[in-house]
Structure 1
Amino acid sequence: MESIVLISGKVKYSITLDPSVWIFDDRKQELHSFFHDEKEEKDSLEEYTKEVSKHWDREIIEGAIVPPTLKTEKKFIKEELITGTFCIPFEPFLKNAEVLEEASHLIIISDEGEVKLPLEIAEQMVLGFSIDGKPLREDGPVHCYYGDGSNFNNPIRNVKEFRVE
């Protein structure tokens, strides 16, 4: 089974996606919480400022040494990575490919056939790439979930290519 997925068609740059490295990507999200938690708009500058100030406060209060709590946090994060079910938004990949203005649809090519979606719906999709900490080897490398979660129990599997038309 091929572990890469292509974005091709009416794009300025054809892109090869490798889902096996997304586990290290900061954009990944827990799949179940993506669809079941309330969505809130995040301001990246505000989020960054909060993280930096939290780190600064920790260093002021605890000093620059690594306190035992940090070791526990690292263990929890590692445990989450090896047992979690993750997805990643599809929109940044479309932006990097630079979809041409005349394009209107995305065709998802899989072993089961082709699914044609308007680009507006495709931009809201998320790509599942890990279930219970393991890559999708049997029916992957990615599963496509619509942004509204309407196909949560039956995602598009065995995806081979995304073609923009």
Structure 2
Amino acid sequence: MELIIPITGNVKHAITLDPTVWIFDDRRIDLDEFFSEDFVEKDEMEEYKERMGKHWSREIMEGATYPPTLKSEKRFEKDKMLSSSFGIVLKPFIHNAVPSANATTFTLITKDEKYTYPLEEASNIIFKFSHNGKPLREDGPVHVLFKDGSNQDSPIRYVLAIQVD
């Protein structure tokens, strides 16, 4: 099984996605939280500013050395990465490929079928790339989930490529 997903077709830049590195991407979503009732979608820029503000305040108050609380926070994050299920929204990748002005749809090409959606739907599609801390090697490299959770129990599997039309 191939672990990369090309985005090709009616785009300015044909790009290749490597889901194995998304675990380090700040845009990753903890799917256990996301599909719970308590999830609140946050603005990425506001969240970044808040984290940087807290970091800056901590450095001013405590110096550049890492206090014990920061070490335990890092350990907690590491443990979470090794045990949680994660996904990432498709839209930024389609955006980075720069679809042509006349492009209207994208097609998810799987081992058995093709699924076509309007380009606007890319923001409602999540690529699940990790289940319980493990990459999706058997039926992956990603599973396609809808943000509304309607296909959470039966995701689209075996994604081989994305074709923009």
* TM-score calculated relative to the size of structure 1: 0.91
Counterpart of 1:40 in structure 2 is 41
Q: Structure 1 residue runs of 4+, over 4 Å off?
A: none
User: After superposition, where does 1:139-158 map in structure 2 within 5 Å?
Assistant: 139-158=139-158
- Count of matched residue positions in the alignment of Structure 1 and Structure 2: 164
Give the gaps of 5 or more residues in structure 2: none
Counterpart of 2:127 in structure 1 is 127
Counterpart of 2:75 in structure 1 is 75
Residue 118 of structure 2 corresponds to residue 108 of structure 1: no
Q: Root-mean-square deviation (CA), in Å?
A: 1.6
In the alignment, is the contact (CA less than 8 A) between 1:139 and 1:158 conserved in 2? Answer: yes
Q: Distance in 1 between matches of 2:159 and 2:129?
A: 11
Q: Distance in 2 between matches of 1:122 and 1:17?
A: 15
Write the letter of the residue equivalent to 1:52: M
Q: Percent identity?
A: 48
Counterpart of 1:85 in structure 2 is 85
Q: Distance in 2 between matches of 1:32 and 1:20?
A: 19
Counterpart of 2:61 in structure 1 is 61
In the alignment, is the contact (CA less than 8 A) between 2:94 and 2:122 conserved in 1? Answer: no
Write the letter of the residue equivalent to 2:41: E
Counterpart of 1:22 in structure 2 is 22
In the alignment, is the contact (CA less than 8 A) between 1:7 and 1:97 conserved in 2? Answer: yes
Write the letter of the residue equivalent to 1:4: I
Q: Distance in 2 between matches of 1:81 and 1:103?
A: 36
Query: Residues 32-57 of structure 1: CA distance to partner in whole angstroms, max 9, x if unpaired?
Result: 2223344334161x333322221232
Shift of 1:10: 1.0
Shift of 1:21: 0.6
CA gap 1:137/1:43 in 2 versus in 1, 3 angstroms: closer
Write the letter of the residue equivalent to 1:51: R
Write the letter of the residue equivalent to 1:105: T
* TM-score calculated relative to the size of structure 2: 0.91
Q: Distance in 2 between matches of 1:86 and 1:141?
A: 13
